[in-house]
């Protein structure tokens, strides 16, 4: 079955009311960020950056985590001039620990112990434990295997490549003391660049040969969870992480590479966690899951990018979560089959 056929099946005969499709969803229609709105809305864009766009989001947490990683968990550059197993394994062990901590904690909190119940949960059903689509017929074990066996290994390989290149002065190194403004601005620009890269790489992965070879493995997860985020075929990991190669061209500090890779991995864990946000005393304290991307896992051929940049709106693949958008997508897909 192709991805178009799967999407047509997922859409069903008639577009149902959003309340029938989802256990919970944000106010509809969903919108993209105001950063690239036309006509420009600078006040709204600045407000977005100061709140959910950056400062009060997981991105700020990841900047802090990357900084702590660089200061306390990163082998010194002078040790990394030669490719030696000791510091390579140290990077792998660090990343393995980060993934186990973040994905494992979110899975236990939301799905195993159900500490938030079904509040802000997109889909009511639990993970599959009897499906032949997954290794050992268990979705969570399957997802954890691909995340840890392939995802963490290739994540670490990219970081090893960059740290070795910095140690040997093969790529441009940014001294934060000499260029503090550019140093700080890069943290804002990395997610925007990643939005562009992700859209086009994702469209490529939906090309039928690549979809069947690699991307179908990730798309088995219609009901996503923390371990689904980077549960991918190794080829997809290589392509998905390749946005970090921009740092071979743009002068950056190693902490930017750490942030970029942690954004690609750990933010994928949170965006797939199945819950819109973490609630504390019935109030949303931290945005987590992406309904925009959840729509992609439900309907396949829409929302290839994310909300940082409106690539889907520009190229006619945006699904805003409404039944009307589902009807339009169903009609479009049936014309292809």
DSSP state of 121: B
* 283-287 vs 277-280, strand pairing mode: antiparallel
Q: Which two tokens stand for residue 228?
A: 């689904």
User: How many Å is the maximal CA-CA distance in the chain?
Assistant: 62
Q: How many CA atoms lie within 13 A of 18 on its CB side?
A: 18
321 strand-pairing partners: none
Using one digit for the tens of pLDDT, what is the confidence trace for 192-244? 999 999 999 999 999 999 999 999 999 999 999 999 999 999 999 999 999 99
Q: Which two tokens stand for residue 55?
A: 């400062």
pLDDT of residue 1: 46
Q: Which segments of the chain does DSSP mark as H helices, in order?
A: 3-11, 18-21, 42-50, 58-72, 85-106, 139-146, 152-167, 180-205, 208-210, 216-219, 234-241, 254-271, 291-299, 311-314, 323-336
3-state secondary structure 220-255: CCCCCCHHHCCCCCHHHHHHHHHHHHHHHCCCECHH
Using one digit for the tens of pLDDT, what is the confidence trace for 111-121? 999 999 999 99
CA 92, 60, 114, 12 dihedral sign is: negative
pLDDT tens digit at each of 337 positions of the chain: 455 555 545 555 454 566 678 999 999 999 999 999 999 999 999 999 999 899 999 999 999 999 999 999 999 999 999 999 999 999 999 999 999 999 999 999 999 999 999 999 999 999 999 999 999 999 999 999 999 999 999 999 999 999 999 999 999 999 999 999 999 999 999 999 999 999 999 999 999 999 999 999 999 999 999 999 999 999 999 999 999 999 999 999 999 999 999 999 999 999 999 999 999 999 999 999 999 999 999 999 999 999 999 999 999 999 999 999 999 999 988 887 6
pLDDT of residue 73: 98
Interatomic CA distance for residues 53 and 226, integer angstroms: 21
Interatomic CA distance for residues 266 and 273, integer angstroms: 11
Interatomic CA distance for residues 333 and 101, integer angstroms: 40
CA gyration radius, the chain: 20
In the three-class reduction of DSSP (H, G, I as helix; E, B as strand; rest coil), residue 272 is classed as: coil
pLDDT of residue 153: 98
287 strand-pairing partners: 277
pLDDT of residue 87: 98
pLDDT of residue 14: 52
pLDDT of residue 40: 95
Q: Which two tokens stand for residue 61?
A: 């947490």
In this structure, are residues 152 and 95 in contact, taking their beta carbons and an 8 Å threshold? Answer: yes
In the three-class reduction of DSSP (H, G, I as helix; E, B as strand; rest coil), residue 25 is classed as: coil
Sort residue 200 into left (φ over 0), alpha (ψ -120 to 50) or beta: alpha
In this structure, are residues 202 and 304 in contact, taking their beta carbons and an 8 Å threshold? Answer: yes
In this structure, are residues 291 and 21 in contact, taking their beta carbons and an 8 Å threshold? Answer: no
CA 156, 293, 135, 266 dihedral sign is: positive
Interatomic CA distance for residues 233 and 66, integer angstroms: 26
Treating both helix axes as pointing N-terminal to C-terminal, what angle do 58-72 and 180-205 enclose, rounded to 10 degrees? 110
Query: Look-up: residue for tokens 């392939």?
Result: 150
CA 200, 204, 205, 207 dihedral sign is: positive
**pTM listed for this prediction:** 0.94
In the three-class reduction of DSSP (H, G, I as helix; E, B as strand; rest coil), residue 172 is classed as: coil
């Amino acid at each position: 079955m192709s991805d178009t056929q799967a999407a047509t099946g997922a859409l069903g005969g008639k577009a149902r009311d959003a309340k029938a499709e989802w256990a919970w969803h944000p106010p509809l229609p969903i919108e993209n960020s105001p950063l690239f709105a036309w006509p420009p809305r600078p006040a709204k864009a600045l407000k977005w950056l100061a709140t959910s766009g950056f400062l009060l989001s997981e991105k700020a947490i990841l900047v802090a985590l990357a900084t702590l990683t660089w200061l306390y968990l990163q082998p010194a550059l002078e040790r990394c001039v030669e490719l030696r197993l000791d510091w390579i394994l140290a990077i792998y062990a660090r990343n393995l620990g980060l993934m186990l901590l973040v994905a494992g904690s979110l899975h236990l909190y939301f799905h195993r112990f159900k500490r938030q119940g079904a509040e802000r949960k997109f889909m009511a059903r639990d993970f599959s434990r009897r499906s032949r689509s997954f290794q050992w017929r268990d979705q969570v074990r399957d997802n954890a295997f691909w995340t840890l066996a392939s995802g963490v290994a290739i994540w670490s390989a990219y970081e090893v490549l960059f740290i070795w290149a910095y140690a040997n002065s093969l790529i441009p190194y940014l001294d934060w003391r000499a260029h503090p403004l550019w140093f700080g601005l890069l943290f804002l620009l990395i997610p925007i660049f990643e939005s562009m890269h992700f859209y086009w790489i994702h469209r490529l992965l939906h090309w039928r040969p690549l979809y069947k070879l690699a991307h179908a493995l990730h798309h088995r997860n219609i009901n996503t969870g923390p371990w689904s985020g980077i549960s991918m075929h190794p080829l997809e990991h290589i392509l998905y992480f390749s946005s970090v190669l921009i740092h071979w061209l743009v002068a950056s500090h190693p902490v930017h590479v750490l942030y970029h890779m942690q954004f690609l991995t750990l933010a994928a864990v949170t965006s797939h966690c199945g819950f819109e946000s973490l609630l504390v005393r019935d109030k949303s304290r931290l945005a987590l899951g992406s309904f925009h991307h959840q729509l992609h896992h439900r309907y396949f051929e829409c929302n290839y990018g994310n909300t940082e940049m409106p690539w889907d709106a520009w190229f006619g693949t945006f699904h805003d979560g409404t039944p009307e958008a589902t009807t339009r997508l169903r009609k479009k897909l049936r014309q292809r089959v």
